[in-house]
Amino acid sequence: MDRARVEWPTLALLAATYALWALGTTWAAAQWLPLGIVLAGLAIAQHSSLCHEALHGHPFRARFWNEALVFPSLCLVIPYGRFRDTHLAHHHEEILTDPYDDPESNYLDPAHWARLPDWARAVLRANNTLLGRMVLGPFVAQVAFLRADWAAIRDGNRAVLRAWAWHVPAVALVLAWVAFTPIPLWAYLVSVWLGLGLLKIRTFLEHRAHEQASGRTVIIEDRGPLALLFLNNNLHVVHHMHPEVPWYRLPALYAARRAHYLKRNGGYRYRSYAEVFRAHFLCAKDPVPHPLWTGEGIP
């Protein structure tokens, strides 16, 4: 471990997150189960944001120590190795929003959309509202994720299989803890859904369909509790341009060159998450089929 660069704010937040998770699953769950569910859900969301920091090389230079710190899979359903590999692939700017090549795209090829049954299209339309993304999104995303990974494993992708194999002990650690704490398993699963639903607020409009790759990534100028929960990833253009910069330095970086980042992304900006809720809680931001897809890519 390289002690020349240790990002102490990240380490402190990680310790606080595990403490909150432990509190939620023990004392809070014993006192009043809904409180335990909420605290555990918040910790699960914060832990996922810290996993995102780890895969980008924080808080240490050494990948081993970063991944060891976030090894327990608090969310149960997403192997860290798969999150790491798909997210790093997503960081290739030229493929952003591509229905096939961007692993985090919520758009579909219009030809694929046209073949879907009516019920599936209704679910995906609801999923394109912020309310739908928070409620349905964890299930919709997980089904798509599992189908893709199962297909990859059947095709002989050993990296995907290895990530799922490492996921087994990471989940076992968490389930062993839950088994010996006051929170029932069903309640912990509700916490998982809550944590993943909160994260869907961040990912809901991170990227838009746009002719230029540089214009596809959002800025949300929020400095409230959600910005902390998402580790300033709401300043998403800044993160995409400087993934090596730790979360606590992103606001100052954005403030120093605000006009530059807004010019780069074509003014794709919201003032706060309150504005996002007002605009899109019940109204879709985008169509599900990619509006710029030509069959051969984005022009």
pLDDT digits (tens, 9 = 90+) for 121-167: 999 999 999 999 999 999 999 999 999 999 999 999 999 999 999 99
pTM exceeding 0.85: yes
Place 42 in a pLDDT band, splitting at 50, 70 and 90.
very high
Place 298 in a pLDDT band, splitting at 50, 70 and 90.
confident
Half-sphere exposure of 272 (CA within 13 A, CB side): 6
pLDDT at 4 over 90: no
Average pLDDT in the chain: 95
Reading the block at residue 235, the tokens are 């300043």
pLDDT in tens, 85-121: 999 999 998 999 999 999 999 999 999 999 999 999 9
Share of the chain above pLDDT 90, in %: 95
Per-residue pLDDT, 297: 72
Share of the chain above pLDDT 70, in %: 98
The contacts of residue 114 (CB under 8 Å, 6+ apart) are: 289
Place 3 in a pLDDT band, splitting at 50, 70 and 90.
very low
pLDDT at 1 over 50: no
Reading the block at residue 44, the tokens are 């699960």
CA distance 27 to 104: 36
pLDDT at 196 over 90: yes
HEC string for the chain? CCCCCCCHHHHHHHHHHHHHHHHHHHHHHHHCHHHHHHHHHHHHHHHHHHHHHHHCCCCCCCHHHHHHHCCCCCCCCCCHHHHHHHHHHHCCHHHCCCCCCCCCCCCECHHHHHHCCHHHHHHHHHHCCHHHHHHCHHHHHHHHHHHHHHHHHHCCCHHHHHHHHHHHHHHHHHHHHHHCCCCCHHHHHHHHHHHHHHHHHHHCCCECCCCCHHHCECEECCCCHHHHHCCCCCCHHHHHHCCCCCHHHHHHHHHHCHHHHHHHCCCCEECCHHHHHHHHCCCCCCCCECCCCCCCCCC
